[in-house]
């Protein structure tokens, strides 16, 4: 009965977005709105000796300038600042809390004015004196001070002994620089003051996370603060944790008892979370036939001085490849920077880049085709926990991807393939991510005219959550999709987790199904009570909702229309809210997989690198919407191209300062950098993971892409670049 | 951003009067650079004189067979002007290599000449920069200098001029018409931009009380054998690591005259007429091109991150001369350098 699930349904919110009707956090207006502007630090570490706001306060139209010296109360205890996704260890950052400078571009004052321009002007008049302290922002310089934070996966066998005994060995270090999310929409919050209660429109991936955090930070009752964010112009993980704009907007509103809007500048957004710079050290040992004996993977990532942020960079080899001996280690080095945060496929984008580059180097050493090496080492079980997968169609990804790409025509010799002045390089890599799912609730309001409103607190960060929930609801309720409206991004709606980790599709869609079952049960109860009901003896499991009717599953002629049932029962609406929890099942590993094939063309003399073709074959269970999922994967590939060739947050370590804190100088790919991209969804039926067989596609698109490109660059040029981004100077000979 | 006064002069004389009367005033035309600089607190004009409505938007043929381009002609209009495309395609091409369509729609011809450097330190008021704050020091020399200059640098400054259009204008030997309190004067293009020396705060020889009124192109457009290639860290919407404008006059396979200008490597579009002259009478071959490239870059010096630009510039010169000689100029809508 799936009229919509699995189809390329266009975005239900597309019209609102392209016509500008969709409102974002900074779009909400109210009377007597106050505008904020933030002053940020120009040193990376130290203390504010003196902060003089008198000049700024004298500007006509300035209402107040808040600093750590005069701000309203905020919670003193660390725990009050811990949001749902804060690192376990550490003290979360508190804007304007004290005079300590912990990183460059740290917010240190909030100017509040009647007009935005006035606030910006006055912000330039805030005078500061610092007591500077020696800072550290260079991971390479601090690597020796790194400490082990966790052993994500148990070691197996004896890695050192196995490596020594291996016939073919590879050892190398790979580096991924700090990267920033750079969502198009600036971080912004509009805090609407209503006699002590606040409605906060905030750019976030989790309205309930922000709501809980603000209540805790400002010691408010749950119904004092409501957080709303129906649309988001890109999140990518930057909006998983509450960012300081929401704290400062509320702080300003409390100080003035007026509504406040604060929009961060692009440069200020570089002091929010980021993908941590990471050094990845790998050793691989194999027999001459390509059988892997040993994998060790050590990651050294940066974190802030005040929180331990770490993700699983290592251990992916245990999911992909059979190896009797493994050792994984994750270390952190403290830097004077803001705390890193999740950024699309955190841990995997970086760790799998290193692993899949190393596997390519091993294939070269073994004189084996890279795909063949991966098939030889293919693991049908999660090696780390010795579990079978709920499903794993990675073999099919390799096969279908290679076929679509034309991989069999590859000459394995580096510098052997050419097109005019350009070297041609073909590289491939595997991708892997977790198929996570979380408890989530949804509400359905079915009205007597056959329309339904589906709602939950989830954010649609641009991925298509509105659309897939409309599809799922339409199918579950047996209604045309035009009759479904979806409401998201309001903290008063049914509880959902933050939107991240690729878990929202599975989590929210099963919540909708659970709520739809409640609706069906009530409809059935009413239908059974009708005179001469064709469903008189039907049980819930005997009936389905389809074509606007409630009908017997196996005899669709025995049916009653939903509108008739509701007219008969006299109810003008049925309201059902249901929380879905997935049965705990530790007997299987749950992952999505991909195989990426990339072609680069590199100008022989000038070193200019073009990624002319990418084929990504993805196995991610059932694809709810082949159109939005395709866009997700395509976006991940484009980002992977950026990660491989362009992206780098450039620090001047002398100043401890980011020097390219704008999107003119922080390069992401532009249209001219993108050529042919082919996304293949490999069929992967999964009846174990959840009833719909859904795994989520938010992260998998980027994983492995940078490695496939780096491997192609080596194949084209014979130059192995192990530090990203691969700029033309690194391949010039 | 600070508060500023805003005025709209009625004519060029009024504009000159206004700028001469207020040393803290600046002109604004398209605003594609000054507004950025104001947002970054790099420029703090007390007064913006909006010249965008002055009647300087003509593109006309001159009596001597050249063309005169009003200072307020938008970059896009100039690039797609039929006579410019036909007679000065190197200029049309260089403009299209710069910025984005939206910026080119706003940016003016005169303003393009007055773009300020994109040196990362110039843009960040929290760091020392001699160009922005004379005497404060140059952070780029031992800092992040991937985009910085390799030719004509000084101990005070290694910034580059960011324009693409100007690289073509240098090759075409355009003239810059300016008006000031003392009347009008003409500045040869090679004399318009300066090297940093000890006064990197001065980008050009335009006096603070002068206004650019027009760019004059001499008759020779090198429409047959030319190219503009731009090498950068992504294929569009990035400033040049190295760019080359090359124009040739050929007699059969022999070079009669060669002109070469480099962008992204110096404080001004970089030309060396002596080196160009060595190509005269030479066969249009790779060997000739390479030896000219070597000579052109002989005194080039990197500062660490930008060391690679020296060899990259040599190779780019060879590629550009090859394209020009073959009559196969680079198309700026091609997603590859051919």
Taking CA atoms, B99 is separated from A301, A668, B66, in Å, by 35, 15, 27
- Whether A607 sits inside 8 A of B312 (CB atoms) is yes
Query: In this structure, are A446 and A363 located in the same domain?
Result: no
The arithmetic mean of pLDDT across residues A394-416, rounded, is 98
Domains identified in chain B and CATH numbers: 5-52 (3.30.43.10), 226-325 (3.30.390.50)
Residue A230 touches chain B, beta carbons under 8 Å? no
Q: Is the pLDDT of residue A602 over 60?
A: yes
Residue B35 touches chain A, beta carbons under 8 Å? no
CATH of the domain at A565: 3.30.365.10
- Whether A729 sits inside 8 A of B2 (CB atoms) is no
pLDDT in tens, chain B (338 residues): 688 999 999 999 999 999 999 999 999 999 999 999 999 999 999 999 999 999 999 999 999 999 999 999 999 999 999 999 999 999 999 999 999 999 999 999 999 999 999 999 999 999 999 999 999 999 999 999 999 999 999 999 999 999 999 999 999 999 999 999 999 999 999 999 999 999 999 999 999 999 999 999 999 999 999 999 999 999 999 999 999 999 999 999 999 999 999 999 999 999 999 999 999 999 999 999 999 999 999 999 999 999 999 999 999 999 999 999 999 999 999 999 99
Query: In this structure, are A259 and A196 located in the same domain?
Result: yes
> Does residue A575 belong to any structural domain of this protein?
yes
CATH of the domain at A62: 3.90.1170.50
| Count of C-beta atoms within a 10 Å radius of residue B301 | 13
Helix H or strand E segment including A352: helix A348-366
Q: Provide, as residue numbers in chain A, all residues whose Cβ is less than 8 Å from the Cβ of B308.
A: 729, 732
Query: In this structure, are A377 and A493 located in the same domain?
Result: no
Q: Provide, as residue numbers in chain B, all residues whose Cβ is less than 8 Å from the Cβ of A732.
A: 308, 311-312
> Whats the size of chain B, residue-wise?
338
Give the pLDDT confidence score for residue B2 in this predicted structure.
Answer: 81
What is the rounded distance in angstroms from the CA atom of residue A38 to the CA atom of residue B119? 25
Distance from the Cα of A271 to chain B's closest Cα (Å) equals 15
Query: In this structure, are A70 and A217 located in the same domain?
Result: yes
Q: Provide, as residue numbers in chain B, all residues whose Cβ is less than 8 Å from the Cβ of A605.
A: 315, 318-319
**pLDDT tens by residue, B241-295:** 999 999 999 999 999 999 999 999 999 999 999 999 999 999 999 999 999 999 9
Residue ranges of B 287-326 with Cβ closer than 8 A to chain A: 308, 311-312, 315-316, 318-319
State yes or no: is A699 an active-site residue: yes
Res. A150 pLDDT band, cuts 50 70 90: confident
Identify the closest residue of chain B to A729 by CA–CA distance: B308
Q: Is the pLDDT of residue A1 over 70?
A: no
Residue A138 touches chain B, beta carbons under 8 Å? no
Residue B337 touches chain A, beta carbons under 8 Å? yes
Give the pLDDT confidence score for residue B306 in this predicted structure.
Answer: 98
What is the rounded distance in angstroms from the CA atom of residue B98 to the CA atom of residue B162? 9
Q: Which residues contact A411 (CB under 8 A, 6 or more apart)?
A: A417
* Displacement of CA A584 from its chain's centroid (Å): 24
| Identity of the residue in B142, B143, B235 whose CB atom sits nearest the CB atom of A672 | B235
Q: Is the pLDDT of residue A224 over 90?
A: yes
The arithmetic mean of pLDDT across residues A711-733, rounded, is 97
Instruction: Tell me if ipTM is over 0.85.
Output: yes
Distance from the Cα of B144 to chain A's closest Cα (Å) equals 7
**pLDDT tens by residue, B162-194:** 999 999 999 999 999 999 999 999 999 999 999
Give the pLDDT confidence score for residue A331 in this predicted structure.
Answer: 97
Bridge partners, residue B74, by sequence: B108
- Whether B236 sits inside 8 A of A673 (CB atoms) is yes
- Whether A606 sits inside 8 A of B315 (CB atoms) is yes
What is the rounded distance in angstroms from the CA atom of residue B131 to the CA atom of residue A568? 81
- Whether A732 sits inside 8 A of B233 (CB atoms) is no
- Whether A601 sits inside 8 A of B121 (CB atoms) is no
Phi then psi dihedrals of residue B96, to 5 deg: -70, -20
Q: Annotated catalytic residue: which of A329, A422, A684, A699? A: A699
Burial group, residue B41, by CB count within 10 angstroms (0-12, 13-18, 19+)? middle
- Whether B236 sits inside 8 A of A671 (CB atoms) is yes
Query: In this structure, are A629 and A556 located in the same domain?
Result: no
Residue A610 touches chain B, beta carbons under 8 Å? yes
Taking CA atoms, B187 is separated from A341, B163, B207, in Å, by 54, 18, 11
Give the pLDDT confidence score for residue B1 in this predicted structure.
Answer: 67
- Whether B234 sits inside 8 A of A673 (CB atoms) is yes
Share of chain A above pLDDT 70, in %: 100
**pLDDT tens by residue, A280-329:** 999 999 999 999 999 999 999 999 999 999 999 999 999 999 999 999 99
Between the two ends of chain B, the Cα-to-Cα distance in Å is: 43
Residue B139 touches chain A, beta carbons under 8 Å? yes
Identify the closest residue of chain B to A117 by CA–CA distance: B1
- Whether B336 sits inside 8 A of A670 (CB atoms) is no
Give the pLDDT confidence score for residue A698 in this predicted structure.
Answer: 93
Residue A652 touches chain B, beta carbons under 8 Å? yes
Give the pLDDT confidence score for residue A154 in this predicted structure.
Answer: 87
Query: In this structure, are A531 and A623 located in the same domain?
Result: no
Residue ranges of A 368-427 with Cβ closer than 8 A to chain B: 421-422
Residue A654 touches chain B, beta carbons under 8 Å? yes
Query: In this structure, are A473 and A411 located in the same domain?
Result: no
Q: Provide, as residue numbers in chain A, all residues whose Cβ is less than 8 Å from the Cβ of B123.
A: 662
**pLDDT tens by residue, A661-699:** 999 999 999 999 999 999 999 999 999 999 999 999 999
Identify the closest residue of chain A to B121 by CA–CA distance: A659
- Whether A667 sits inside 8 A of B238 (CB atoms) is yes
Residue A663 touches chain B, beta carbons under 8 Å? no
Q: Provide, as residue numbers in chain B, all residues whose Cβ is less than 8 Å from the Cβ of A660.
A: 120
Asked which of A562, A580, A598 is the last residue of a domain, the reply is: A580
Residue ranges of A 545-584 with Cβ closer than 8 A to chain B: none
> Does residue A1 belong to any structural domain of this protein?
no
Interface test with B, best of A38, A652, A666, A709 (most B CBs within 10 A): A652
Q: What is the DSSP letter of B182?
A: T
Query: In this structure, are A574 and A631 located in the same domain?
Result: no
Task: Count residue pairs from A and B with Cβ separation < 8 A.
Answer: 92
Residue A362 Ramachandran class (φ > 0 left, ψ -120 to 50 alpha, else beta): alpha
> Does residue A91 belong to any structural domain of this protein?
yes
**pLDDT tens by residue, B10-21:** 999 999 999 999
Distance from the Cα of A305 to chain B's closest Cα (Å) equals 22
Taking CA atoms, A66 is separated from A80, A412, A532, in Å, by 21, 63, 72
Q: Is the pLDDT of residue A261 over 90?
A: yes
- Whether B238 sits inside 8 A of A671 (CB atoms) is no
Query: In this structure, are A457 and A425 located in the same domain?
Result: no
| Identity of the residue in B124, B139, B335 whose CB atom sits nearest the CB atom of A675 | B335
> Does residue A702 belong to any structural domain of this protein?
yes
Sheet arrangement for strand A440-447: A484-487, A452-455, A440-447, A573-580
Query: In this structure, are A510 and A615 located in the same domain?
Result: no
- Whether B118 sits inside 8 A of A665 (CB atoms) is yes
Q: Provide, as residue numbers in chain B, all residues whose Cβ is less than 8 Å from the Cβ of A606.
A: 231, 312, 315-316, 319, 337
> Does residue A147 belong to any structural domain of this protein?
no
| Identity of the residue in A646, A652, A655 whose CB atom sits nearest the CB atom of B233 | A646
Query: In this structure, are A692 and A721 located in the same domain?
Result: yes
Residue B176 touches chain A, beta carbons under 8 Å? no
Sign of the Cα torsion A526, A529, A532, A536 reads positive
Answer yes or no: are the C-beta atoms of A445 and A412 closer than 8 Å: no
Query: In this structure, are A556 and A667 located in the same domain?
Result: no
Res. A153 pLDDT band, cuts 50 70 90: confident
Q: Is the pLDDT of residue A151 over 80?
A: no
Give the pLDDT confidence score for residue B289 in this predicted structure.
Answer: 98
Asked which of A527, A553, A580 is the last residue of a domain, the reply is: A580
The arithmetic mean of pLDDT across residues A85-94, rounded, is 96
Asked which of A247, A269, A291 is the last residue of a domain, the reply is: A269
Coil, strand, or helix at residue A619? strand
> Does residue A591 belong to any structural domain of this protein?
yes
- Whether A120 sits inside 8 A of B238 (CB atoms) is no
What is the rounded distance in angstroms from the CA atom of residue B290 to the CA atom of residue B294? 6
| Identity of the residue in A606, A659, A672 whose CB atom sits nearest the CB atom of B312 | A606
What is the rounded distance in angstroms from the CA atom of residue A233 to the CA atom of residue A224? 27
Quote the domain boundaries for residue A56. Answer: 25-134+184-234+239-269
| Identity of the residue in A646, A660, A732 whose CB atom sits nearest the CB atom of B120 | A660
Interface test with A, best of B160, B235, B236, B243 (most A CBs within 10 A): B235
Burial group, residue B188, by CB count within 10 angstroms (0-12, 13-18, 19+)? exposed
What is the rounded distance in angstroms from the CA atom of residue B35 to the CA atom of residue B270? 27
Q: Is the pLDDT of residue A555 over 70?
A: yes
| Identity of the residue in A124, A645, A646 whose CB atom sits nearest the CB atom of B41 | A124
Q: Provide, as residue numbers in chain B, all residues whose Cβ is less than 8 Å from the Cβ of A610.
A: 235, 335-336
> Does residue A262 belong to any structural domain of this protein?
yes
Residue B235 touches chain A, beta carbons under 8 Å? yes
- Whether A606 sits inside 8 A of B3 (CB atoms) is no
Q: Is the pLDDT of residue A583 over 80?
A: yes
Q: How many domains does chain A have?
A: 3
Between the two ends of chain A, the Cα-to-Cα distance in Å is: 60
> Does residue A561 belong to any structural domain of this protein?
yes
């Amino acid at each position: 009965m799936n009229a919509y699930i699995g189809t390329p349904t266009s975005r239900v919110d597309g019209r609102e977005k392209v016509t500008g009707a969709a409102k974002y956090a900074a779009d909400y207006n109210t009377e007597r709105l106050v505008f904020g502007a933030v002053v940020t630090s120009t040193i990376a570490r130290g203390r504010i000796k003196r902060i003089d706001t008198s000049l700024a306060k004298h500007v006509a139209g300035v209402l107040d300038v808040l600093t750590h010296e005069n701000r309203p109360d905020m919670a003193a205890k660390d725990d009050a600042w811990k949001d749902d996704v804060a690192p376990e260890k550490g003290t979360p950052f508190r804007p304007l809390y004290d005079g300590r400078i912990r990183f460059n571009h740290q917010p240190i004052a909030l100017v509040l004015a009647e007009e935005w321009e006035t606030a910006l002007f006055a912000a330039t008049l805030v005078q500061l004196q610092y007591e500077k302290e020696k800072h550290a922002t260079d991971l390479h310089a601090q690597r020796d001070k790194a400490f082990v934070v966790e052993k994500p996966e148990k070691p197996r066998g004896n890695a050192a002994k196995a490596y020594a005994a291996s016939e073919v060995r590879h050892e190398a270090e790979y580096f991924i620089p700090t990267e920033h999310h750079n969502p198009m929409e600036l971080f912004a919050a509009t805090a609407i003051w209503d006699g002590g209660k606040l409605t906060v429109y905030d750019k976030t991936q989790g309205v309930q996370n922000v709501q809980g955090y603000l209540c805790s930070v400002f010691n408010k009752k749950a119904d004092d603060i409501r957080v709303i964010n129906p649309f988001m112009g890109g999140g990518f993980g930057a909006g998983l944790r509450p960012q300081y704009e929401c704290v400062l907007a509320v702080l300003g509103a409390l100080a003035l008892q007026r509504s406040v809007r604060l929009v961060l500048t692009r440069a200020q957004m570089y002091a929010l979370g980021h993908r941590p710079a990471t050094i990845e050290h790998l050793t691989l040992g194999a027999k001459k036939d390509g059988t892997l004996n040993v994998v060790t993977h050590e990651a050294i990532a940066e974190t802030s001085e005040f929180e331990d942020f770490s993700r699983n960079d290592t251990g992916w080899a245990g999911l992909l490849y059979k190896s009797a001996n493994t050792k994984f280690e994750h270390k952190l080095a403290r830097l004077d920077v803001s705390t890193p945060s999740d950024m699309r496929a955190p841990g995997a984008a970086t760790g799998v880049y290193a692993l899949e580059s190393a596997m390519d180097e091993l294939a070269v050493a073994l004189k084996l085709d890279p795909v063949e090496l991966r098939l030889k080492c293919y693991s049908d079980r999660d090696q780390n926990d010795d579990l079978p997968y709920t499903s794993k169609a990675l073999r099919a990804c390799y096969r279908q991807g290679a076929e679509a790409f034309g991989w069999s025509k590859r000459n394995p010799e580096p510098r052997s393939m050419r097109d005019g002045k350009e070297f041609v390089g073909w590289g491939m890599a595997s991708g892997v991510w977790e198929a996570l799912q979380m408890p989530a609730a949804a509400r359905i309001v079915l009205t007597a005219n056959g329309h339904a409103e589906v709602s939950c607190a989830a954010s649609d960060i641009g991925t298509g959550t509105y659309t897939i929930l409309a599809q799922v609801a339409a199918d579950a309720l047996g209604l045309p999709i035009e009759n479904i409206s979806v409401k998201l991004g309001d903290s008063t709606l049914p509880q959902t987790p933050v939107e991240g980790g690729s878990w929202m599709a599975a989590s929210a869609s099963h919540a909708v199904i659970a709520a739809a079952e409640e609706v069906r049960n009530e409809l059935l109860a009413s239908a059974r009570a009708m005179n001469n009901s064709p469903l008189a003896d039907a049980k819930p499991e005997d009936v389905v909702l389809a074509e606007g009717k409630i009908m017997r599953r196996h005899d669709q002629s025995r049916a009653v229309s939903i509108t008739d049932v509701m007219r008969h029962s006299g109810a003008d609406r049925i309201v059902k809210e249901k929380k879905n929890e997935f049965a705990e099942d530790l007997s299987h590993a749950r992952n999505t997989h991909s195989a990426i094939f990339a072609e680069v063309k590199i100008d022989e003399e000038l070193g200019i690198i073009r990624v002319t073709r990418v084929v990504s074959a993805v196995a991610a269970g059932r694809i709810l919407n082949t159109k939005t999922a395709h866009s997700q994967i395509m976006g991940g590939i484009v980002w992977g191209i950026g990660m491989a060739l362009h992206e780098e947050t450039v620090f001047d370590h002398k100043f401890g300062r980011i020097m390219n804190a704008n999107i003119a100088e922080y390069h992401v790919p532009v249209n001219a950098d993108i050529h042919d991209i082919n996304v293949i969804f490999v069929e992967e039926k999964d009846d174990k993971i959840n009833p719909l067989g859904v795994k989520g596609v938010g992260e998998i698109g980027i994983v492995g892409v940078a490695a496939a490109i780096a491997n192609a660059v080596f194949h084209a040029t014979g130059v192995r670049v192990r530090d990203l981004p691969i700029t033309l100077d690194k391949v010039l000979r | 951003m600070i508060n500023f006064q805003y005025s709209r002069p009625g004519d060029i004389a009024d504009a000159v009067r206004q700028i001469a009367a207020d040393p803290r005033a600046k002109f604004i035309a398209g605003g594609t650079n000054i507004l950025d600089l104001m947002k970054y607190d790099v420029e703090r004009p007390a007064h913006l004189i909006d010249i965008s409505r002055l009647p300087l938007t003509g593109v006309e043929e001159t009596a001597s067979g050249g063309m005169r381009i009003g200072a307020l002609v938008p970059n896009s209009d100039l690039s797609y002007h039929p006579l410019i495309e036909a007679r000065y395609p190197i200029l049309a091409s260089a403009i299209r290599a710069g910025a984005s369509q939206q910026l080119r729609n706003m940016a003016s011809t005169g303003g393009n000449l007055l773009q300020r450097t994109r040196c990362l330190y110039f843009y960040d008021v929290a760091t020392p920069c001699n160009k922005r704050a004379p005497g404060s020091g140059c952070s780029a020399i031992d800092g992040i200098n991937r985009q910085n200059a390799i030719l004509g640098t000084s101990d005070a400054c290694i910034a580059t001029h960011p324009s693409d259009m100007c690289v073509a204008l240098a090759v075409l030997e355009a003239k810059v018409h300016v008006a000031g309190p003392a009347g009008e004067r003409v500045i040869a293009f090679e004399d318009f931009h300066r090297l940093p020396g000890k006064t990197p705060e001065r980008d050009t020889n335009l006096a603070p009380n002068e206004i650019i009124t027009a760019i004059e192109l001499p008759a020779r457009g090198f429409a047959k054998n030319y190219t503009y290639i731009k090498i950068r860290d992504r294929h569009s919407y990035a400033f040049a690591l190295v760019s080359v404008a090359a124009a040739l006059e050929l007699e059969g396979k022999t070079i009669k005259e060669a002109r070469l200008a480099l962008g992204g490597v110096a404080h001004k579009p970089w030309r060396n007429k002596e080196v160009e002259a060595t190509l005269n009478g030479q066969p249009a071959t790779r060997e000739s091109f390479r030896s000219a490239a070597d000579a052109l870059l002989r005194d080039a010096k990197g500062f660490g991150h930008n060391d690679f630009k020296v060899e990259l510039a040599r190779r780019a010169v060879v590629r550009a001369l090859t394209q020009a000689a073959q009559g196969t100029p680079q198309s700026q809508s091609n997603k590859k350098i051919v």
